[in-house]
Amino acid sequence: MNKYLITITVVALALLTACSSDDACQPVTTETGGQPTEIRLASCLDAATRSYTHSNIVNGDTVYVWTDIINAATQEVSEYFKAWTLRANGVGGLSPLTAGNGKLFPATNHLNFYALCGNFGVVAEGSRAGEPMIEPEVMALPTTSGIRHTVLSDQRSSDAYYKSDLLYAVVSDQAPISDAVSLYFKHMLSRIEVVLAAGNGVTTSELSTATVELLNLNRQVAFSANKDADLTSQTDLASMLSIPMNAQQSNILMATNVIDNTSLATPAASTVYTDAIVVPQTIAKGTAFIKVSYMGRDTYYRVPNGSGDSPLVLESGKQYRFCLIANRIGGTFELTPVSVEEWGANTTTGLWLDDLTSTSPY
């Protein structure tokens, strides 16, 4: 279950046509002759080649869009609209949550777009108790105090996994156009990928009921949008995230997949890994990070604790792969890590690409 790299476009139409070529996914700056025109959305598949890709936001997910207007005469920037609430249709489209709530470009002034998708929860008390934390058309883009996003503790289902993702997009200085405006979302969190390999004295059948958990992780993050962020900069991505006080902390349960040969755990065969979305954080040396329970025993992968080792730093927009060999030796159980590979360095085309950037021989 590989997380999707998303390219999405903002529009105010209930029905849309998906792009089918790379050229169609490029931003367009066609002038509209000075007449107000509807802000349209369409979705485009990302140009990056992946062995397995889910390229659409999940059906029913909510995307919030804010815009600022740039005064053509003075270049002063001010709010244009807030928290425009859109609903994904699962096949690449977005439409207003409220029927008829379309938006128009100004006649000539340019716009900045900011879009956000995440698991922000609901209001706990008061007149809006039970309603979404982001109040449509009212809430300003969270730039200072931040908004809390929660990753789920059980990500064995696809829905729970997708719900745990936090996505942000920025388009600056967009002229009024009749074509769609493409918003290229970035994954703001980290991804852990794990596959189990049957080792000495253990069969794939014996591992078929194994469970995999990531241990003692912060599951909440405060996101504070930076309107001027360079989303290809690791520093800018990290600066928008912080661990809030009293953040939920627990284990994260992952789906399990077992292979009988470690040679199957390659970039080209990335679908053998199962995934979990986690909040970027640092795992100290010597810490038990992954627990695998199989054949009545609990075994652990610990972050290496040698004098030349470093803590495991999980960064925004990056993924980390673990191929773990489960052995039975002399009646005892071992869990031997093969490698931890950091994938998907930030690029101008997106995050979480299938290009190896570095390898840590853990």
What b/e readout covers 86-114, taking b as 16+ CB neighbours within 10 angstroms? bbbbeebbbbbeeeeebbebbeeebbbbb
Structure confidence at residue 41 (pLDDT): 64
Coil, strand, or helix at residue 162? Answer: helix
Coil, strand, or helix at residue 264? Answer: helix
pTM value?
0.81
pLDDT tens track for 185-228: 888 999 998 889 888 888 999 999 999 999 999 999 999 999 99
Q: Which phi-psi region, left, alpha or beta, contains residue 267 (left: φ > 0; alpha: ψ -120 to 50)?
A: alpha
Query: Cα(147)–Cα(169) distance, rounded to whole angstroms?
Result: 16
Over its length of 362 residues, how does the chain's per-residue pLDDT go in tens digits?
433 333 333 333 222 233 333 443 343 444 555 567 888 765 432 322 222 345 677 788 899 999 999 999 999 999 999 999 998 877 767 788 888 889 999 988 999 999 999 999 999 889 999 999 999 999 999 999 899 999 999 999 999 999 999 999 899 999 998 887 887 888 899 999 888 988 888 899 999 999 999 999 999 999 999 999 998 899 999 999 999 999 999 999 999 999 998 777 766 566 788 999 999 999 999 999 999 998 888 888 888 888 988 899 999 988 888 888 888 766 665 666 554 444 443 222 222 222 222 223 22
Query: Cα(40)–Cα(206) distance, rounded to whole angstroms?
Result: 53
Structure confidence at residue 104 (pLDDT): 94
pLDDT tens track for 97-111: 888 889 999 988 999
Query: Cα(102)–Cα(238) distance, rounded to whole angstroms?
Result: 33
Give bridge partners of residue 302 from the DSSP assignment. 288
The dihedral over CA atoms of 114, 246, 243, 317, expressed in degrees to the nearest 10, equals -70
Kindly write down the DSSP assignment for every residue of 178-225, as one continuous string. SSPEEEE-EE-SEEEEEEEEE-TT--TTTTTT-EEEEEEEE-EEEE--
The dihedral over CA atoms of 50, 53, 55, 58, expressed in degrees to the nearest 10, equals -160
Give bridge partners of residue 339 from the DSSP assignment. 323
